[in-house]
Amino acid sequence: MPRRHIMKWVLEFGLAILVGAAAAASAAGPVGDPNAGRQQELIDLLRQDCGACHGLYLTGGLGPGLRPQDLDGKPVESLSEVILRGRPGTPMPGWQAFITESEAGWMVETLRKGLPDDR
């Protein structure tokens, strides 16, 4: 099989997985807080994935700080939109393929309270 066909298949397969995961998340997405297991996954995402750009302790880096004092006065809806859709023209990606709208809101509320210190 020629290399370009393999690359096309890999891209299409990866896209199908992402679309399927997003559809499953939106179809099953709870209206309210995620269950305890999902909450831990979202906290891990905040620490690891978000922390890669926003700093190990979310004090800022390539992206701005995400501590409670950094988010004070910023609307939950706006912050959720940034998490879901990213910021065009910046390195901030959108995460809507991996999380639901309600999960993004939960993440913002969790950041506004401060991440639990259970490392």
Residue 103's pLDDT is 98
Residue 51's pLDDT is 96
Instruction: Flag whether 55 is in a domain.
Output: yes
Instruction: Flag whether 118 is in a domain.
Output: no
Residue 116's pLDDT is 87
Give me the amino acid identity at 93: P
Residue 49's pLDDT is 96
Residue entry with tokens 């995402």: 45
**Tens digits of pLDDT across the chain (119 residues):** 565 555 555 546 554 454 444 444 444 444 579 999 999 999 999 999 999 999 999 999 999 999 999 999 999 999 999 999 999 999 999 999 999 999 999 999 999 999 988 55
Instruction: Flag whether 75 is in a domain.
Output: yes
CATH value at residue 107: 1.10.760.10
* Number of domains the chain contains: 1
- Domain extent, residue 42, equals 3-113
List Cα–Cα distances, 116 to 17, 38, 61, 106, 112, in angstroms.
31, 15, 21, 14, 11
Does the pTM exceed 0.75? no
